[in-house]
Amino acid sequence: MADTSVNTTVEVGDLYLMANVHPRRSGLPFVVYISERQGQHDVRVKVAEGTRAPPFVASVSVRPEVEVVAGSLSPGDLGLVKQWIDLNRDVIIGYWDRTIEDTADALAQLKPIVS
């Protein structure tokens, strides 16, 4: 069973390891965060409440399947996040694994979804 709680308290160090991806860059109607490896879990994307972030409303796994692992998203919003992750999976994983070391390089490689 997925943990439905999302930690809305964000430590400064946590944000340092994350790159926010604004709607104008992602094509999503909300901010998402990609991050470097953190903790024991696999690759995740954090989803903000809207165009300003945090607070986060969901944490979404990138592999093996795209699914909400904490918090909640509407089916429509999850579908959009899944589409964006599928389009940018290699970049998101590269940033997580630090094979893409520079945040600017990762952001430059991300592609927006087209609504």
Q: Tell me what pLDDT residue 94 has.
A: 97
Please, are residues 107 and 31 in contact by the beta-carbon 8 Å criterion? no
pTM for this entry = 0.84
Q: Tell me what pLDDT residue 1 has.
A: 37
Q: Tell me what pLDDT residue 54 has.
A: 73
| Least trusted range by pLDDT, from 5-9, 11-15, 81-85 | 5-9
More confident residue, 66 or 38: 66
Please, are residues 70 and 6 in contact by the beta-carbon 8 Å criterion? yes
Q: E strands along 1-115, which residues?
A: 18-21, 32-35, 44-48, 56-61, 67-71
Q: How confident is the model at residue 15 (pLDDT cuts 50, 70, 90)?
A: low
For residue 26, pLDDT over 80 is answered with yes
- Residue 97 burial (CB count, 10 A): 12
